[in-house]
Structure 1
Amino acid sequence: MLITPDISTLSYKRQLAKRFDRASRSYDSYADFQKIVLDRLLAMLPLSQADVVLDLGTGTGQALGILSQQLKPKCNIALDLSPQMLTVARERFSALPNLHCVCADAERLPFQEKSCDLVFSSLAVQWCLSPLDLFNELFRVTKPGGYVVFSTLSQGSMPEISQAWVGLDSQRHVHDYMAQDALLDCIKASGLNLLSSQLSDILMWFDSPEAAIYSLKKVGASLIAGDAHSSVSPTRWKAFLREYEKQRDERGVPLSYQVSFIVAQRPAIV
């Protein structure tokens, strides 16, 4: 039976793709936090060779070169919901052998069962609407004995932004990220074996509240489903920035993240 996504899901995915399309050319210049997370995740790779590697939510392809160099895959798959992100990745790695760029939804992967030795994903999982559906898909496309290695934002990320909005309005201005326990439950429910999990607090510092917000906007990670700045009146936005400024110390204006680092494996067939 063909399951058709509802209109709200399709609308969310279209908005998400457009947001990252707009950020495709500015992403690399503002992705300091993303690079920190990526480096930590790459250091957790549990294998030294893989025939088929899927970089899920590849963005501008920051992981592709290292994955190719370390694992020597026969097939590199770069998947993203944003066509423009894939364009940047393709331009960046035009000489990378066996690179296949695929524009698709991570929750509906267009791949055969048991086709990937490694599914790798840095800071993309948090944008999926149904984590259980996602991990069922990751289980489906991973070869027996293959690995799923990913990072994702967790509950408690960006409390500084929430704090700055307190008292200014009653709207939600930060994405609802999944709690670590709920994330691990979804992984286990999919049939994947959890090999390791780490929850890390990563704190970034900025020269101004505007710079902190730009670090999100310029990589496509708007605060909520829409663009926070455009959905708030100029007066209220300035009030928010004043409140955020109050959190400054000698290091600058803080913005902190809770990041889950996960290594899982599809059980091998005996």
Structure 2
Amino acid sequence: MSGTGEIFDRRQVRRAFSRAAGSYSAAADLQREVESRLFESLEYLGEQVPADIVDLGSGPGTAAVELRRRWPKARVVAIDLALPMLRQVAPKRGWNPLQRPIDRVCADVRALPLADDSVDLIFSNLCVQWVDDLDAMLAGFRRVLRPGGLLLCSTFGPDTLHELRAAFSAADDRAHVSPFGGIAGFGDALMRAGFRDPVLDREVDVHGHADMAGLMRGLRQLGATNALSARRRALTGRGRFAAAQAAYEPWRGDDGLLPATWETITALAWAPAHGQPIREGGEDVARFPAAGIPVRRRRG
């Protein structure tokens, strides 16, 4: 895929998260913390009760299970690129046959297999950072959301793993850590897509690790490995890894641990009414449902 011009190799993203399906839940402390922040933002719904909910990039489905618990009559759809992740959603242990089941769909966030105007809430925790084209992705979100529907998502910001990025840059000239967009760029993309009243927040968490090998092992358990199209396809040699380790050492703190910074961006925005323009291919395009177009009948 390196010849496509895409930043990420989608096949590698799928493989990495498929391999991490069995270890993800045990390693996902940060992901659960960010997920809890997103749940706090659900208060913006007020008395509104969503009938159709999508947990996008669901992973093992912890958010999907909680969303179903909150709104047991709603249809909840868990969507993930990695089929082994979806197999972890709502295991039989603790399953209530009287509850509506969670639908599971293996699909790419860039091409949602959902009808227009079919969703009231898109909930997406730390998934969209793997998408190159924010504008196209958000256009897809807007397409499936009903007017007044809520988009609630999180992504990583540019300071994420900056220590590891700097350490590897001292070892060779190949990128080893994914680039992540900033909060301003994400907000601008939401506005270009026509979303209303966006609210964005930024948080920075620093986790300590005994050594770089332990940090890398934790990233593999999360599926957060190098999925760049321009990545080196051979394994990182001992010499380059040792050079990166040496470059990381000056970051070691007074607590004896190597810091790993995680910058997270959370975003909330509302789908607009039909007819609100959206930028597509450099042009403003407005869509209206066919049922909403008045038809004047001629009298015979």
Q: How does the TM-score come out when normalised to structure 2?
A: 0.81
Q: Secondary structure at the match of 1:225?
A: coil
**Rg bigger for which structure?**
2
Q: For the aligned residues, what is the CA RMSD?
A: 2.4
Equivalent residue number for residue 143 of structure 1? 146
Q: Secondary structure at the match of 1:113?
A: coil
Counterpart selection for 2:264 from 259, 264, 270: 259
Counterpart selection for 2:129 from 110, 126, 130: 126
Aligned-pair CA distance for 1:229: 9.9
Aligned-pair CA distance for 1:155: 1.6
Equivalent residue number for residue 185 of structure 2? 182
Equivalent residue number for residue 113 of structure 1? 116
Q: Secondary structure at the match of 1:123?
A: coil
1:51 aligns with 2:51: yes
Give unpaired runs (5+ residues) of structure 1: 1-5
**C-alpha distance in 2 between matches for 1:78 and 1:121:** 10
Q: Secondary structure at the match of 2:62?
A: coil
Equivalent residue number for residue 38 of structure 2? 41
Q: Kindly indicate whether the alpha-carbon contact (under 8 Å) linking 1:50 and 1:72 is maintained by their aligned counterparts in 2.
A: no
Equivalent residue number for residue 21 of structure 2? 24
Distance 1:89 1:229, change over 3 A: farther
Instruction: Name the aligned partner's letter for residue 251 of structure 2.
Output: Q
Q: Secondary structure at the match of 1:187?
A: helix
The 5 Å alignment of 1:1-270 reads 12-45=9-42, 46-47=44-45, 49-91=49-91, 95=96, 97-225=100-228, 231-251=235-255, 252-268=257-273
**C-alpha distance in 2 between matches for 1:203 and 1:116:** 35
Instruction: Name the aligned partner's letter for residue 51 of structure 1.
Output: A
**C-alpha distance in 1 between matches for 2:18 and 2:250:** 33
User: How many residues of Structure 1 are paired with residues of Structure 2 in the alignment?
Assistant: 265
Aligned-pair CA distance for 1:245: 3.1
Instruction: Name the aligned partner's letter for residue 23 of structure 1.
Output: A
Give unpaired runs (5+ residues) of structure 2: 276-300
1:120-166, Cα deviation, whole Å (9 max, x unpaired) = 00000000121111000000001111100000012221111122124
Q: Kindly indicate whether the alpha-carbon contact (under 8 Å) linking 1:52 and 1:73 is maintained by their aligned counterparts in 2.
A: no
**C-alpha distance in 1 between matches for 2:153 and 2:73:** 18
1:1-49, Cα deviation, whole Å (9 max, x unpaired) = xxxxx9676x922221111000000101111111111111111112262
Aligned-pair CA distance for 1:216: 1.4
**C-alpha distance in 1 between matches for 2:225 and 2:117:** 34
**C-alpha distance in 1 between matches for 2:73 and 2:152:** 16
Q: Secondary structure at the match of 1:246?
A: helix
Q: Kindly indicate whether the alpha-carbon contact (under 8 Å) linking 1:229 and 1:237 is maintained by their aligned counterparts in 2.
A: no
1:214-260, Cα deviation, whole Å (9 max, x unpaired) = 22111101144278895311121122123323322133211112211
Q: Kindly indicate whether the alpha-carbon contact (under 8 Å) linking 1:145 and 1:269 is maintained by their aligned counterparts in 2.
A: no
1:148-186, Cα deviation, whole Å (9 max, x unpaired) = 000001222111112212432111121111122211111
Moved more, 122-131 or 70-79: 70-79
Q: Kindly indicate whether the alpha-carbon contact (under 8 Å) linking 1:31 and 1:215 is maintained by their aligned counterparts in 2.
A: no
Aligned-pair CA distance for 1:261: 0.6
**C-alpha distance in 2 between matches for 1:84 and 1:166:** 33
State the percentage of identical aligned residues. Answer: 26
Q: Secondary structure at the match of 1:171?
A: coil
Q: Kindly indicate whether the alpha-carbon contact (under 8 Å) linking 2:149 and 2:271 is maintained by their aligned counterparts in 1.
A: yes
Q: How does the TM-score come out when normalised to structure 1?
A: 0.90
Q: Secondary structure at the match of 1:55?
A: strand
